Amino acid sequence: MEFYASCPAAFEQALARELRALGIRRPRPLKGRVSFEGSVRDAYRVCLWSHLASRVLLVLGRFACATPSDLYQGTYDLPWHEIIRPGASIAVSAHGTNPELRNSRFSMQKAKDGIVDRMVDETGARPAVDTHAPDARIVLTIRGDRASMSLDLSGEPLFKRLSRTVLARAPQGVDILRPDYAALVLAETGFPELCQSARDAGTEPPVLVDLACADGGILLEAAAWLADRAPGAARTRWGFQGWAGHDRAIWRELLAEAREREQAADRRPGRIVATDPDERAVEASKRVVAAGRIACAVDIIDPKADALRRALGRNVPAGVIVADTSVMAPDVVPSALRLATDVAALAPCASMPIAWLSRPHGGLRIPGRAPSSTSTLLLGSDELQLVCFASASAEAADTPYPGAGAGELHAGKGSGSNRTADQKPSRTARATVDVGDGKPIPLLVPESEQFARRLIKVARQRRKWARREGITCYRVYDADLPDYSAAIDLYEGTSVEADRGQRDRGLAGGGNRLGEEHGHGGCNKLDAAQGHAAEPATERWIVVAEYAAPKTVDPELARDRMLDILAIAPRVLGVPPEHVHAKTRQRSRGGSQYGKQGASVHHGGNPQADATSPQGDVLIREGGLSFTVNFNDYLDTGIFLDHRITRGLVREHARQARTFLNLFAYTGTATCYAADAGVEETVTVDLSNTYLDWAERNMALNGFTGSAHHFVRDDVLAWVEQQVRGHNRWDLIFCDPPTFSNSSRMGERTWDVQRDHVELLKGVVGLLEQGGVAIFSCNLRSFKPDVEALRAAGIGLEDITERTIPEDFQRNKRIHHCYLVRRL
């Protein structure tokens, strides 16, 4: 059975840890929830014991949901008479929209109609609808053209667990910190694990030191953990009671087990020491603690370090330090910060981890100790900050993190190219993961184990697919897990230096070496018929491109996750450390695609001389052709893997073409495909000397040389305008412009693909022979062609984007847009 536990943003990793501790085997953190598979018993245990989850839901089904009729039919098709207990009242809530279902209330009504109609048809009885206190609450979630239906097993949110007595006795105007937020503060210090370890070992429970006890919310939650009290034990009404699959016997067993655990914990009640610089907060905490059924000893002391030293005594067990200054008056906060600094220096407290909840920019700073994590939390409309410090002894004892060795990352040239991941000597591993080779990998972030498992799975799937399709360069991972937001591309090939050495040895033996025969017209081709040396050994490289993390993510945490990715990926993918390349993508601030200098035209010369590549280039194969890629010097490698199918489309159309034009040609890979199909003449246009030379090397590498292949350096827009006024026309044109450019070589003109595509395509169509076709592609995710303006200009556009997205880019279907362009 499939379930998920919902939670506030930034709770996902802590909730996943909690679920693992509850026996859930493979919890999967997602945005605002953690999904898992398990039995009814597993779901009940989460409902009963989770301190961090908001709700627990059973996934009932998924279906296509592009229109209202899809929604009704998909809902009706579920066997509601087998899901809802006879006589149970229901309520439906809806979340998410799409172009046809833009109103959540309408979607909710449509889903309710489907449920009621199905139950009437099956049972003859219409279920009662109760929007305030239903027996069964059904949740509809719409994402794009898909929808899911789930049953809320919790009923009321799980964080609604403060007793009426506590709420009644709290001073007027005091807002007790929501229990799940209090639980997160404790979870980030490792307090739950300390409590469980003490119970398992039969030793003294950990001590909680609360330096800003505020309204007592953290005290109540800590007391529940010390008492081993199930957070849901006192609740009498549950969402699963309206479920036809409810197993009362299992639920009774779990309740009995919870009572036994709490009784056993009473023998070692634990201890809390609390204070607050604000006297009103101290009085509020005393009243809340008195009403809260707290079994452990709670000492409320003066807000002084000496008082805390006396209260703790000499033999201090393991413990943690927490504070909540989020509701503290601004003029009192400095006193709390000074107290924390003094306490952290005390011998009994120096080894304790610390979690400090505050308003933004009110976080704790401790001399000599760097925060281990910083999270931004949203509680209603309030933004909070949670800063955590690992225990000082743990920092000293932890395994040094090897990170990415000096050979693993290569410094790039210029903005936005390869990024060196600076490694601080003080970085320490917090966990390890074994990826199957028997050599544990140290991790800076324990949750990186989830990334490792995901990468192992998708790498296995991609490898099988790539072998079946004969593909050697492909995307393995594409931000599958939101917290590990990176793309990993795998390249198989040979270094150009190794290939050149083999070729030289082959030539010394009396023959020329080239790859496969292709059959062309109008070009010179090296003869591969004579003797040649053996192929150089194939090697592997990976490029890890990090996506920028949201501002709500702590930069240090994002950096640690990236370092874990760089440690895990080469081990899973079988890549040597020196073949790992890290890149950071940045928004373009101009481009080298354009310039205002005159055109420079040259033709192919000596094929062996033209094939010479810069040192460090790698030779790869795709579609029976060879290309060089470079991982060191540029943001992109020299070939766009998402255009693999598009290049094949160029070859397909080129078989019926005599002439081919490649605009914004980059490294000329599309030109190679067209030449391979047998076109008689190619023209490759780009403003960059670097890329134009690269394109010529790629052509020569495949044997396409001579006067039939032209390479033009010019501002493409100006060049197209000039050619339209002339007589040159082409049967097939490939046009893949940048999204934006304000290159100085364009003069005062700028380029924006959304704004300027109509004028560009007018020129492109003007260069087509009668019956010719152009393939137009762009990478602007939000791109929308102006179909009306194009039609008015006599231009027909056929959207073929879906056909051109490869299997390894299906997670990112807006990676590019692609169209066939013809004259109407």
Average pLDDT, the chain: 84
Q: What is the pLDDT of residues 367-379, one digit of tens each?
A: 767 788 888 899 9
Q: Would residue 629 count as lying in a domain?
A: no
pLDDT at 511 over 70: no
pLDDT tens track for 191-211: 999 988 888 888 888 899 999
State the pTM of this model.
0.55
Does the pLDDT value for residue 466 go beyond 60?
yes
Name which of 385-389, 548-552, 661-665 the model is least confident about. Answer: 548-552
Shared domain for 563 and 604, answered yes or no, is no
Whether residue 686 is found in the same domain as residue 720 = yes
Whether residue 70 is predicted with pLDDT greater than 90 in this model: the reply is yes
Confidence label for 585 from pLDDT (cuts 50, 70 and 90): low
The verdict on 677 and 785 lying in the same domain is yes
Same domain, 572 and 646: no
pLDDT score recorded for residue 616: 58
Q: Report the pLDDT value the prediction gives residue 742, as an integer from 0 to 100.
A: 65
Confidence class for position 362, pLDDT limits 50, 70, 90? low
172 occurs within a structural domain? yes
Is residue 777 within 8 A of residue 735, CB to CB? The reply is yes
**What pLDDT is recorded for position 498?**
54
Q: What pLDDT is attached to residue 500?
A: 54
Helix (H) or strand (E) holding 342: helix 333-344
**For the domain that residue 520 is a member of, what is the CATH number?**
3.30.750.80
Same domain for 676 and 733, yes or no, is yes
Place 668 in a pLDDT band, splitting at 50, 70 and 90.
Answer: very high
| Cα three-residue angle 464-467-471, rounded to 5 degrees | 120
Q: What angle do CA 771, 773, 774 make, to 5 degrees?
A: 155
- Does 324 fall in a domain? yes
* Contact predicate 441/404, CB 8 Å: no
Q: At 147, which CATH number?
A: 3.30.2130.30
Contact 627, 410 (CB under 8 A): no
Instruction: Provide the 10 A C-beta neighbour count for residue 402.
Output: 15
Say yes or no to pLDDT of 413 above 70: no
Is 719 inside any structural domain? yes
Lowest pLDDT segment from 410-424, 491-505, 704-718: 410-424
The pLDDT score that the predictor gives to residue 725 is: 94
CA 622, distance to chain mean position in Å, is 28
Indicate whether 307 belongs to any domain: yes
Q: Note whether 652 and 535 are same-domain residues.
A: no
**Which of 139-143, 241-245, 501-505, 802-806 shows the lowest mean pLDDT across its residues?**
501-505
Q: Give tens-digit pLDDT for 249-298.
A: 999 999 999 999 988 877 777 889 989 998 888 888 888 877 777 767 78
CA 96 to chain centre: 20
Per-residue model confidence (pLDDT) at position 604 = 39
**Among 325, 249, 309, 231, residue whose Cα is nearest residue 273:** 309
Per-residue burial over 147-174, b if 16 or more Cβ lie within 10 Å, else e, is bbbbbbbbbeebbebbeeebeeebeeeb
CATH number of the domain to which 716 belongs: 3.40.50.150
Is pLDDT larger for residue 355 or for residue 295? Answer: 355
Q: Has residue 714 been placed in a domain? A: yes
Whether the per-residue pLDDT at 711 is higher than 60: the answer is yes
Do 723 and 776 lie in a common domain?
yes
Q: Work out the widest C-alpha separation in the chain, in whole angstroms.
A: 97
Residue 591 — pLDDT band, cuts 50, 70, 90? very low
Cα–Cα distance, 152 to 686 (Å, whole number): 58
Tell me what pLDDT residue 748 has.
62
> What pLDDT does 526 receive?
36
Q: Which residue has the higher pLDDT, 277 or 503?
A: 277
Q: Are residues 580 and 676 in the same domain?
A: no
Kindly state the percentage of the chain with pLDDT values over 70. 85
* Residue 577 in domain: yes
Question: Is there a single domain that holds both residue 379 and residue 514?
Answer: no
**Any idea which of 409-413, 501-505, 753-757 has the lowest mean pLDDT?**
409-413
Are 187 and 117 in the same domain? no
Average pLDDT over every residue of 204-231: 90
Tally of CA atoms within 13 A in the half-sphere of 586 that contains its CB: 14
Please give the pLDDT value at position 82: 95
Q: Which domain holds residue 343?
A: 164-227+266-397
Find tokens 């945490």 and name the residue. Answer: 557
Average pLDDT of the residues in 784-808: 95
CA-to-CA distance for 635 and 583, rounded, in angstroms?
7
Residues 284 and 140 in one domain: no
> pLDDT at residue 618 above 70?
yes
pLDDT of 173 reads 67
Q: DSSP code of 522? A: S
At residue 170, the pLDDT reads 74
pLDDT greater than 70 at residue 501: no
> Is the per-residue pLDDT at 90 higher than 80?
yes
User: What does the pLDDT look like over 755-781, one tens digit per residue?
Assistant: 999 999 999 999 999 999 999 999 998
- Mean pLDDT across 519-534: 39
Q: Rounded mean pLDDT of 136-154?
A: 95
Residue pair 5/50 in contact (Cβ under 8 Å)? The answer is yes
Number of domains in the chain: 4
**Same structural domain, 136 and 172:** no
| Residue 621 domain flag | no
Selected residue with higher pLDDT from 321 and 585: 321
Place of tokens 């020129």: 763
